[in-house]
A and B are shown apart, each in its own frame.
Chain A
């Protein structure tokens, strides 16, 4: 296993710009998750995919956020018209579906700073 890979590691952008992050999960992991972590807090669930299907989205995910997982492999998370409140660490995780409390493998995250 090469682990979960996220790019870029850091992103600085101006308010109002669009940004896109990429996550490459562990190969053969069919579930992929996005979490957001702000300073001093634990990660918060945003959304998840089972293969290419996005099956659940948190209320935290406003309509400015969109995530895709074409072909059930890598995933992208796009934020349109960024706001300062979007500044956070965006974490991706993957797992083999077990349906019951499976172990998640996390990437190192993308740190977004909105100026």
Chain B
């Protein structure tokens, strides 16, 4: 069965520090999709990135970067020079290809709460 593990429950950093959020997943499928979503205090989940299993290129978007390593089943997320506005709960999620014929049924991790202070 598919599973997503985010071992870090809560991380606190001081503004301008770099921080990496870990995500480890389990799947038996060869084709799948990985996501990161941000959940600010307002509650709505905000899409950050999607990566399919055949694309192992790392990606950078501004202060955000993602490291996908199939060999270790990890999809880690790094925020460079963190800011107070980055404070939120971050979720990693997995969607298996066997499911996408019908729906984007995401399996979420338990989330990592990031607190950035001045």
Contact = CB atoms under 8 A, between A and B. Distances in A.
Interface of A: 3-4, 31, 33, 35, 40-45, 48, 55-56, 89, 91, 93, 95, 99-109, 111
20 contacts: A33-B104, A42-B91, A42-B93, A42-B110, A43-B106, A45-B105, A55-B102, A56-B105, A91-B45, A95-B104, A99-B100, A99-B101, A101-B32, A102-B100, A103-B47, A104-B45, A104-B104, A106-B44, A108-B42, A109-B44
| Top-10 shortest CB links A-B | A42-B108, A101-B33, A106-B45, A108-B43, A108-B44, A48-B103, A45-B105, A109-B43, A100-B100, A101-B95
Contacts, number: 75
B74 interface: no
Given A45-B106, A56-B105, 12 more contacts: A55-B103, A93-B45, A95-B104, A100-B100, A101-B32, A101-B35, A101-B97, A101-B100, A104-B47, A104-B104, A106-B46, A108-B42
Contact of A56 (B37, B50, B103): B103
Interface of B: 4, 32-33, 35, 37, 42-47, 50, 52, 91, 93, 95, 97, 100-111
A91 B46 CA distance: 12
Contacts of B4: 42
A56 B104 contact: no
B47 A105 contact: yes
